[in-house]
Chain A
Amino acid sequence: MISQEEATLETNLKSKESKESNRSFKFFEDNDINWIATILLLIGSLAILFPLYLAINVALKSPQQLAQSILAFPKELHWENFTKAMELTHYFRSFKNSSLVTIPTVVITLLTNSMVAYAIARNLDKKFFKFLYYYFIAALFIPFPIIMLPIVKEMSFLGLDNRLGLTILYIVYGLSMNIFIYISYIKSLPGSLEEAAIIDGASTWQIFWKIIFPLLKPINATIAILTALWAWNDFMLPLIMLNDRKLMTLPLVQYVFQSQFSTNYNLAFASYLLALAPMILVYIFAQKWIISGVMKGSVKG
């Protein structure tokens, strides 16, 4: 906090100086820019970027190069670490598994959870829906470990210890939080549009898909992002649910292969980077959209 105070003081001084000087520095021309905050944040961001730099660095080296120095940039790049890691861990198979769980989870979550939330939000005066609302919200307070042991028995009994079962669980377990976010958003939508549609003879089904669902677009984005991040990165559910190696998701594969990587850190890091890469790629292209989506969810929720 003190540094903040100093920060503004110094920026004020700096801005005065730059006003007085002949404005030769085009870069410093904008008097309002808080340079100290910028510099502090830039330094802080190194703490975020450093582990990622290190990971890339290690993944591109040979074991001999690594033994010489961890930090130094690799002299020759060993791209073959990546191809070896892909072969060893069956990268494309686990990539497919993660996708086949995440994509259906996100699509079905959006289509079903929004509908349930709409039904509850517009009927909260009725006892049954009020009960449903509190029932789903109450589940937010139940920690997963209490369900963890019985659900594994239940799912293997039902023959659902596979990708389909995993998808079902993500859709169902996301319901509580999603309904919470959806309902607070739906409440802010005016009811007049729906009333007009009812007078025109539209059914509830039509009203939902033609009027409400398009209006939910911004919050759908939020739900889609949060659900995708969760389903893609989750480790615990796949760990307890999947026994078949052929079905394992990306994070789970990293765990299973720990012993096989043993001390070949270059290979291990290539594999880690491959596991992180899909999310990083999506993030680079959709970064603004993802961040604003998460922020919207936090204001509503």
Chain B
Amino acid sequence: MTIPALVLFFTFHTLPALTGILYSFTDWKGYGTWDFVGFKNYINLFKDSRALDSYIFTFKFAVIATILVNIISLLIAMGLNAKIKFKTALRAIYFTPYILSILVVGYIFNYIFTFFLPDIAQTLGINTLTKSILGNPDLAWIGVVILAVWQSCGFNTLLYLSGLQTIPDNLYEAASIDGAGRWRQFTNITFPLISPFFTINMVLAMKGFLMVFDHVMALTSGGPGRATESISLLIYRGGFAGGEFAYQTANAVIYFIVILVVSVFQIKVLQKREVEL
């Protein structure tokens, strides 16, 4: 059973990845003839302002969304882990966004940003918000962040919740006998003990957000202009419609290296912190 699995995996995963890397050294448009061009694609990529902009947008989005998601998820998880009423129902509600299609939810948010918020802003007299934030090149990315946070908090909350449930109650009891306040209990017990979950959450969230695609497709299609064009979207667009097959595979190779470096860096830094605490 492992041999067919290996063959299938090689055929549908490793092989296209390798051909991708091979193509990145050619000038193939996705059709017709091609030649090897060496590192030309890579050199051009570093001069390409469109590619650079997409990296800046993607990183700005991913870093802010990762931080927000982790803060909010941890807060919700701590709330859900407390002795509260309606525990099951609340947990179910907070997890709901995760089971829904990002694209479809994105269309609903698109409507909220385009019509509902400006409508409300007008009634309240907040002039800056009377126009859709998605139409503003400087603000559109915030809309993408809001959708991403709304959609993915549920999953991260669950991860934190399963981390919090591993902490025995008597630790808190002992701490409060020693006179430790809530904040001390959080910094000295809760956070150190869930730090493996913090590492996983940070890495997973960051990796997921660096690949952002559906959110952008539903909200802005990369616009206005190219203000919210993510790396995935650029590779998709340029590669399939723009006749830049080889060029965008070179971009994907760089993207792969970037994601790898970021993941390894995150794991190293966060795990080191885990040990220190």
Question: Which residues does chain B contribute within 8 Å of A8, judged by CB atoms?
Answer: 182
Interface string of B228-270 (1 = CB under 8 A from A): 0001100110011000010011001101100110010000000
29 cross-chain CB contacts under 8 A: A1-B183, A5-B181, A5-B183, A32-B83, A34-B82, A52-B108, A70-B119, A119-B1, A141-B256, A142-B256, A145-B232, A145-B235, A145-B236, A146-B255, A146-B256, A171-B8, A172-B9, A235-B102, A235-B217, A236-B236, A240-B240, A251-B104, A255-B103, A269-B108, A287-B92, A291-B91, A294-B95, A295-B158, A301-B200
Q: B94: which A residues are within 8 A, CB to CB?
A: 41, 44-45, 48
B97 interfacial by beta-carbon distance below 8 Å = yes
Contacts A41-B90, A145-B236, A279-B100 known; list 8 others, CB within 8 Å. Answer: A5-B182, A52-B108, A149-B20, A149-B249, A171-B8, A235-B213, A235-B217, A290-B95
Name which residue of chain B comes closest to A254, CB basis: B104
Say whether A144 faces chain B, with CB atoms less than 8 Å apart: yes
0 or 1 for each of A120-141: is its CB under 8 Å from B? (1 = yes): 1000000001001001100101
In the complex, B68 has a CB within 8 A of chain A: no
Residues 134-178 of B contacting A (Cβ, < 8 Å): 150, 155, 158-159, 161-162, 166
| Contact call B260/A141, Cβ cutoff below 8 A | yes
Residues of B within 8 A of A85 (CB): none
Q: How far is the CA of A276 from the CA of B96 in the complex (A)?
A: 11
Chain A to chain B: the 10 pairs with minimum beta-carbon distance, closest first: A150-B16, A146-B252, A5-B182, A233-B101, A38-B84, A151-B16, A34-B82, A145-B252, A295-B162, A150-B19
Query: Nearest chain A CB to B240's CB is how many angstroms away?
Result: 7
B167 to chain A, nearest CB (A): 13
Verify if A224 is at the interface (C-beta below 8 Å from B): no
Instruction: State which of A115, A235, A279 has its C-beta within 8 Å of the C-beta of B1.
Output: A115
B14 in the interface, Cβ–Cβ < 8 Å? yes
Where the two chains meet, the residues of B that have a C-beta atom closer than 8 Å to any C-beta of A are 1-2, 5-6, 8-9, 12-17, 19-21, 23, 30, 76, 78-80, 82-86, 88, 90-105, 107-109, 111-112, 115-116, 119, 150, 155, 158-159, 161-162, 166, 181-183, 186, 197, 200, 210-211, 213-214, 217, 231-232, 235-236, 239-240, 245, 248-249, 252-253, 255-256, 259-260, 263
B99 touches A58 (CB 8 A): no
Q: Which A residues fall within an 8 A CB radius of B?
A: 1-2, 4-5, 8, 32-35, 37-38, 40-42, 44-45, 47-49, 51-52, 54-55, 58, 70-71, 112, 115-116, 119-120, 129, 132, 135-136, 139, 141-154, 168-169, 171-173, 175, 229, 232-233, 235-236, 240, 250-251, 254-255, 258, 265, 268-269, 272, 275-276, 279-280, 283, 287-288, 290-291, 294-295, 298-299, 301
Q: Count A-B contacts at CB 8 Å.
A: 237
Complex Cα–Cα for A148 and B20 (A): 9
Q: Find A132's partner among B6, B84, B101, B158 (CB 8 Å cutoff).
A: B6
Alpha-carbon separation in the docked complex, A295 to B76 (Å):
15
Residues of B within 8 A of A44 (CB): 76, 79, 94
- The answer to whether A1 touches B186 (Cβ under 8 A) is yes
Question: Would you give the shortest CB distance from B13 to chain A, in whole angstroms?
Answer: 6
Q: Give min CB distance, B92 to chain A, whole Å.
A: 5
